[in-house]
Structure 1
């Protein structure tokens, strides 16, 4: 028998009062689609927190490791393909040979040292700036500044670095507070970095859209990813959307960019390896979003206030 209001029961049992909060009959049908989505997404977020609570302390470190993976891969690429790199820059880009050698050595040192500092959270402000400068200089040196794929993907990596930088700044400020004293207000800088980081981070998806062949599988990922990216940008259900996005990208990366299946002499191996570690870096940035949330400039935060 469905619930039809308290009067029905009060007429039959006049001396008994039905509590206004009593759960009599199904009430989910009265919820709007928006309320149902809110309830569903909240359950998903709670499940994520429940099943991964033991990993939560390690999520920032894992995210930072994934984030800088593309820099380690680039360092190994330069080292293992030294002659090809020198030949290309010297003969096709027409740089002096000594300048080419200095440029490549500096790149390897900065990327390897800077990436390690980001992972262990030491001098991360210097390391972040150094890695961003490397991205810009490489774009200029290799003539890729006007390549859409390069711009979108590397801006996404920069967004992840900004998120890692933000997380470390807040932690460092907290460590300066004396025990027993109220915490200082550390949100002023954090909100700007989180906003800039998540805006830059979703640019990878735009590059994925532009390079897609519009198959049914990719069309599904594009549609779901578009909604997720929009949510991340405006800061609505940010953790939920970032979790969906990183899951899609991680699965796509494993099944599409399988560079390990090709021989080292096959050109496809080199290309797919670059793609794999680029996407892995964005997955790392999304992990930081899942861990830190959207920050003050977001609908999620405004909902807490109002």
Structure 2
């Protein structure tokens, strides 16, 4: 996987980065992760009538049921325990369930939430101090594995099939990185590289602040921007907390 000396230098760079940022990186990761839900809840509050009219026009359910949906979705976006359900309902209600790009990005967002749940899950405590309990910790490990695998779906939507050199190089490098994150090999280095790459792409392609607020594209880019920031938050959790027990990095310690 590249020149060993370069990899050692890169690993040392990641370790130094983590030493400097270990106090606040998990907090930044969580803030990024929930940013799309906060933005969506705020937008629903300020665009109440537009949201209600859209739901009514799409599903022909009447103003009352449309208003109930918007209310539930609003509180769902601002409630930690309802984020997953709210995201699923929003995907169906706004008729983007069968849009492959949106579906994959919502699944990637679900991966970030899974990592957040894994982080908040209390470590299994043994009755005997110092004795590991693999059975109790396994659910958390598999949640981390599922979160990693779902997160990489975001990058599947960024692959381009143009035959120019830049697109080919981007596809090769991006594919290699997402495979490394998924299998948990050099995970922190690969995840941090993806964070930098995805953040640059997000700033370049989803610059909603350059589009007038009255244009529909403004809301579309804003939604995409914060959704991407949430995936970045999930990757930052991987950088801060590691890949978990079900990973090649963890298995290497046993070899």
Q: Same fold (TM over 0.5)?
A: yes
Whether the aligned pair in 1 keeps the contact of 2:111 and 2:151 (CA below 8 Å) is yes
**Any stretches of 5+ residues in structure 2 without a counterpart?**
none
Cα deviation per residue 1:154-208 (whole Å; 9 max; x = unaligned)? 1001000111111111xx337x679x93265353222211110100010011122
1:286 aligns with 2:238: no
Q: Which residue of the other structure, out of 200, 205, 210, is the alignment partner of 1:251?
A: 200
- Post-superposition CA distance 1:83-129 (Å, at most 9, x none): 22111111232122111111111111121132xxxxxxxxxxxx2xx
Give the deviation of 1:141 after TM superposition.
1.5
Residues 1:202 and 2:152 are matched in the alignment? yes
Q: Which residue of 2 aligns with 1:136?
A: 88
Structure 2 CA distance for partners of 1:257 and 1:106, relative to 1, 3 Å = same
**Structure 2 residue matching 1:251: 3-state secondary structure:** helix
Structure possessing the higher radius of gyration over alpha carbons: 1
Unaligned runs of 5+ in 1: 1-33, 115-126
Q: How does 1:1-306 map to 2 (within 5 A)?
A: 34=1, 37-114=3-80, 127=81, 130-169=82-121, 172-173=122-123, 181-182=129-130, 184-185=132-133, 187-209=137-159, 217-306=166-255
Taking the aligned partners of 1:152 and 1:227, their CA distance within structure 2 comes to 19
Deviations 1:10-66 (A, max 9, x none): xxxxxxxxxxxxxxxxxxxxxxxx5x6344223212222224423212111111110
After TM superposition, give the deviation of residue 269 of structure 1 in Å.
1.4
Deviations 1:212-256 (CA, angstroms, capped at 9, x unpaired): 767654443322111100111111111111111111001111122
Contact 1:93/1:142 (<8 A) preserved:
no
Structure 1 Cα separation of the partners of residues 227 and 175 of structure 2: 19
The 8 Å contact of residues 156 and 201 in structure 1, kept in 2 or not, is answered as: yes
CA 269–183 in structure 1, closer or farther in 2 if over 3 Å, else same: farther
Instruction: Identify the residue that residue 18 of structure 1 maps to in structure 2.
Output: none
Number of equivalences:
253
Deviation per CA, 1:261-299: give whole Å up to 9, x if none.
Answer: 121112221111111111111110000111122222222
TM value normalised by structure 1: 0.76
Higher relative contact order (CA 8 A, sep 6+): 2
The CA distance in 2 between the partners of 1:244 and 1:233, in whole Å, is 14
Q: Is the 8 A contact 1:161 1:285 kept in 2?
A: yes
